[in-house]
Amino acid sequence: MMELYYMPAACSLAAHISCLEAGLPVTCRMVVMDPSGNKVEGEDYTKINPLGLVPTIVDGETRLSEVAVVLQYIADKADGKLGKVTGEERWKLLETLNFIATEIHKSLAPLFRADLPAEARPFFEKMATGRLIEAQNRIGDAGYLVGDSFTVADAYLFTVLGWCNFLKMDMSLWPKLGEYARRIGGRPSVQQALKEEGLA
């Protein structure tokens, strides 16, 4: 059985949602932040992931980190239950995952830092706003990011949109994204993952 190492509400939530959506057998292990180093069940998490970051997925001899890669791995294991990921659609999925990771995720992450200089905050907020406008434009007619059904990209975007609420960003600026987040948030897999992570 796969093991997924996560922190509540971190980007690993996308992997958690995706495993549940696909019905993949997985054991979720919570990583706890600790001043002496992140822990899993009291043990040093860097033995699993040297950087101490989530997500990490362990599947037999396979051990992967970096959320975009972990999500693609899950998509490949899902046997079509997370949308079409072959041919042209696969390239579109990879592009979308990397857009979320490098453009949205990385522009929001500094806003969580308590030591971020006040004069730097508007820069990152402006950057995030531009990326979120582009994310809104990428939602297709079917209401998803890639193709006409839910994929791991939707799990990832839903996760980072949750950070916007935590950061008190005005989501009314992106009404299509707000509607999208509410709709994706209503999926049983999302509700289950949120409950399991103590977020609902």
Overall number of domains in the chain: 2
Give the mean model confidence (pLDDT) for residues 32-61: 94
Q: State the pairing for strand pair 26-32/39-40.
A: antiparallel
Helices and strands of the chain, counted as H and E runs: 8, 6
Instruction: Give the domain CATH number at 180.
Output: 1.20.1050.10
User: Do 125 and 102 belong to one domain?
Assistant: yes
Share of the chain above pLDDT 90, in %: 86
Residue 46's contacts (CB-CB under 8 Å, 6 or more residues apart) are: 37, 38, 52
For residue range 136-164, list pLDDT tens digits in order: 999 999 999 999 999 999 999 999 999 99
| Local structure of 182: helix, strand or coil | helix
Give residue 75's domain range.
2-80+190-196
